[in-house]
Structure 1
Amino acid sequence: MARCGGVYNDTKTNLLKWDGQVPPQSTPTPNILTLSLSKTWEIASEPFHKEIDNLKTCGVGPGMPFSNQILAKRPNFGVIGLVPCTVGGTKIEEWQKDTILYNQLVDRARAARESGGNIGALLWYQGESDCGEQDSMLYNGRLEKFFNDV
């Protein structure tokens, strides 16, 4: 899930920067953890994708609001572990089985399970790089294949 909330173009430097603002829906809590780059669990705080997508400016994404909403509706849910794997600006074909991104995702998911986690959902928020006519026509089939492979 790309994480571009609060990212802006600094006209003085012509660089993308994050405004540092965290909306209430993304408030950290000890009940939402993230798997770090070193594959240890930490309390999630925005931007929690910064280690994974370290070549881009990261901001707020949908993972924290999604998790906080689950906890608001089900206070006894327990701990939610987020396993960031996103690399912004990628196409679905870069996530197909046996690609670098796919293998990293599977490796991180495996590490989460081996440390006691259970995978209950896969949040997928991707596709703007597939907006070209040919890519958009192939997207559904590639996405279905990706989900089946995972």
Structure 2
Amino acid sequence: MAGRGGVDKSKIWDGVVPPECSPDPSKIYRLNARLQWEPALEPLHHDIDDKKTCGVGPGMSFANAAKERMGVVGLVPCAVGETAIKEWGRGTPLYENMVKRAATAVQDGADEIKALLWYQGESDALMQHDAES
């Protein structure tokens, strides 16, 4: 979810942004790591998942589709790559950060959270037990 599209084996992002992920600075915003709104552009998680190289993910294409129905879209990136679902349980640092960021978004003028986009996979697919649960 943090976006690794266009990141090569040397961990360098190629900077290519597909048309469906193009920014729309008048309608799509992101809550940055400092909890401030700014126009959204790829990579969306560059200051959130800051220990890894981020590239293109599904967030901007989702926002571009949603803006057609909702008008202005505020994205609240929270993803941290290579984390297992159990690391996002209630009371964990990842969970608490996500809740804090969501609460800030609502406080700052969003009337409500209308959608949640979650992608979970690779870290929970390494062990058969984890994949099955």
One of 82, 85, 97 as aligned partner of 1:89? 82
- Give the match for residue 58 of structure 1: 54
Q: CA deviation at 1:112?
A: 0.4
Specify the alignment match of 1:69 in structure 2. 65
Matches of 1:50 and 1:87, distance apart in 2: 10
Partner of 1:23: 18
Q: In the alignment, is the contact (CA less than 8 A) between 1:34 and 1:41 conserved in 2?
A: yes
Structure 2 match to 1:145: none
After superposing the two structures, state which structure 1 stretch, 16-25 or 62-71, moved more: 62-71
Counterpart of 1:126 in structure 2 is: 120
The alignment yields a C-alpha RMSD, in angstroms, of 1.0
More strand by percentage? 1
Partners in 2 of 1:119 and 1:83 — Cα distance? 10
Q: Percent of aligned positions with the same letter in both sequences? A: 52
How high is the TM-score relative to the length of structure 2?
0.94
In 1, the alpha carbon distance for the partners of 2:84 and 2:66 equals 29
Per-residue deviation, 1:134? 1.1
Give the unaligned 5+ runs of structure 1.
Answer: 10-14, 139-150
Distance in 2 of aligned mates of 1:71 and 1:111: 21
Q: Which runs of 5+ in 2 are unaligned?
A: none
Q: What letter corresponds to residue 106 of structure 1 in structure 2?
A: V
TM-score normalised to structure 1 length: 0.83
**Equivalenced residues, count:** 130
Q: Answer whether contact 1:2 1:126 (CA < 8 A) is retained.
A: no
Distance of 2:76 and 2:103 partners within structure 1: 10
